[in-house]
Amino acid sequence: MRMDRVHSSNRPESSNLASKGSSVVAIQCITGSSKAEEWDDNMLQTGDMVEEITIGPVSSVSAPFEGGKSGLQKVMGKAYKRGETSIEVRVRRGVAIQGCIVPGEGPVSKKNYMVRSLNDPNYAVGFMDISESECVALQGSRRVRVESALSEAQLQDGFVSYPWEKKMKEFLPIPHSSSFLSLLVLPNAPDRVSPRYNNLNDTLARAHAWLTASQASGVPIDFMNVQTEALLTKTSGEGVSTTVNTGSLADLSNMLNSGVYGFEDYHGLDIGIVRTVRLWYAPSAREFPIEIELMEGDTKLGFAISRTDEGFIHISSVANDVEQSVASRSGLSTLYKAAVASSKLLVISRVSDEKVLPWMVSFSGAVRCFDTISLSQKLSLHRHALKPILLHVFLWDGAPVIRPARRTVASGVLPLTQQIMAQMPEPQPLSLGSEQEYEGNDEEERLSREFSFRMSVGCEDKWL
C-alpha cells in the first residue's frame, strides 16, 4: 500500500519556516507496509518528528540535527559507504524503527538515503524538513489519511504459472483424462428432403428421454446438468426457423425456443446457429479400474459384451463354469454378479483409458457410440498378445466397498484381490432385462447380438 507523501512543493520554503515555528526533521513514509499493523501507533507515520538516530552499535545523533535533512543525509551517506547500514530511528512520541540504510529509488533519489524496516522490507521511510506546526497538523489528520488510503486501495490481480502436467497426473483418477461425462444432442430434422429442425424444447425432451431410459435399463448414472450450446454453420433460408434482426425485440424473443436460427453477415452470407443440448451426467458412485492380467494358456477371457439402445457397452454375461478364467481371476465375474444382484448393468466406460461411452445424437436421431465388434476384436487381440487389459466400469450406490486401486505406473492399476472380492455380496438369482429380450420369438435378434461381440482369430473361440 502506498502511503501519503508530503512533497517539497507543498511545503513552505526554509525561509518561511520560522514564521510557522522552528524547523525539525520529520518522517516521510516512502512505501507502505504489507502487514496489517501499518496504521498502528507503533509504526512510524508521516509527520513524526525525529528525536534520535543510532547508526551501528554506538554512534548516535540527536535532534536538533545540524543542517536539517541535508546534514542527516550526509551522516547516513558516510555510514553507508563505510558499510555500517544498521540504524535505529526514534521519534518524539517514543516509537522507534529498526532498519537498514539503503539508497533511494531512481537516478535522482539515489543520493537521498532512506531507512528500510528489518521486520517488513516493504516498509521504508525517508526524512523531510518541516515546521513543528505542520507536524502537528499532519498528525492530527491521520484519520483522514487512513480513510483516504482505504478509499484508494485496490486489489491487484495477475497471472501465475501452474504445473498442469503434474496436477493432471497426480490428482485425476485417470491421469490426463477428465471424469466429466456428457452427451451432445443435436436438434432433430425429421424431413431429409426439406431440412427443418425441431425446436429447443424437443431437443431437451430427447436428452431427458435418453437419460431416463438409460437409468431404467440399469445403467448406473445420475443427472448432473444440462446446457445449450451454439454451433455455427452455413445454412439456407429453408432450414432456418427464425431469422434474427438485432434491431427487433420480437425476433430476439422468437429465437429463444428455436432449434436453428440464422442471420446475414456483412458479406451477405447466410449464417446458421444450431442450438444443441449438452447433457452432463456422472456414474452413481464412480469409475472403477480393473486390470485383467493374461497368462499363457488363456483360451477365453470369460465374459461377453453387449450394447444398450442408448449406446452403453456393458458386460452381458460371464462364464460361471470356469473357475480359473480370466474374468474370475480379475474379479470381473464377481463384480458382474454383484451388479446383477442390484439390478444394474456393469457398464464399461473406458478401455485402456479411452472412453467408450455414447457421446452424440445426430440430426437424424441416431446415437453415436462405439461398436461392439471392433471392441471385441481389440480385446481378443490383447489375449493373443498377452497384453494386460485395463477396463473402467461404472459403480453404483450400495456397491461393495472397494479400496480404489492405485497405479504403480501411468498405464496400469493393481488388479482386484481375493480379499476385495470377499467383501462383495453373494449374487441372487435375478435375470436382467437384456436376457429376457433374448428369449421368445426374437431368436434371430439374439443370435445377431451374440455374434456382434464374438470373434475367432485362428482358433475355436466363441467367447472373448
User: 38, 41, 62, 68: which is closest to 128 by C-alpha?
Assistant: 68
CA dist., res. 181 & res. 420, Å (int): 27
| pLDDT tens digits for range 152-180 | 788 888 999 999 999 999 999 888 888 89
Average pLDDT for the chain: 76
Cβ distance 142 to 132 under 8 Å? no
> What's the confidence (pLDDT) of residue 275?
86
Residue 134, Cβ density class (10 Å: 0-12 exposed, 13-18 middle, ≥19 buried): buried
How many DSSP H helices and E strands does the chain contain? Answer: 12, 20
CA dist., res. 248 & res. 253, Å (int): 9
CA dist., res. 318 & res. 322, Å (int): 9
Cα-based angle 290, 292, 296 (whole degrees, multiple of 5): 170
For residue 4, name the pLDDT band (cuts at 50, 70, 90): very low
Q: Where are the alpha helices (DSSP H) in 154-235?
A: 164-170, 200-216
What does DSSP assign to residue 15?
G
b/e for 31-54, b at 16 or more Cβ within 10 A?
A: bbbeeeebbeeebbbbbbbbbebb
Sign of CA dihedral 360, 362, 366, 372: negative
Range from 5-9, 196-200, 242-246 that averages highest in pLDDT = 196-200
- 16 alpha carbon, distance to own chain's centre: 63
What does DSSP assign to residue 464?
-
CA dist., res. 460 & res. 452, Å (int): 16
Q: Residue ranges per domain, the chain?
A: 8-152, 185-283, 287-451
User: 77, 72, 99: which is closest to 86 by C-alpha?
Assistant: 99
> What's the confidence (pLDDT) of residue 100?
93
Cβ distance 254 to 236 under 8 Å? no
Range from 195-204, 380-389, 429-438 that averages highest in pLDDT = 380-389
For residue 60, name the pLDDT band (cuts at 50, 70, 90): confident
Residue 278 has pLDDT above 50, yes or no: yes
For domain 287-451, which architecture applies?
Roll (2.30)
| pLDDT tens digits for range 402-448 | 544 444 333 333 344 343 344 444 433 333 333 333 344 444 444 33
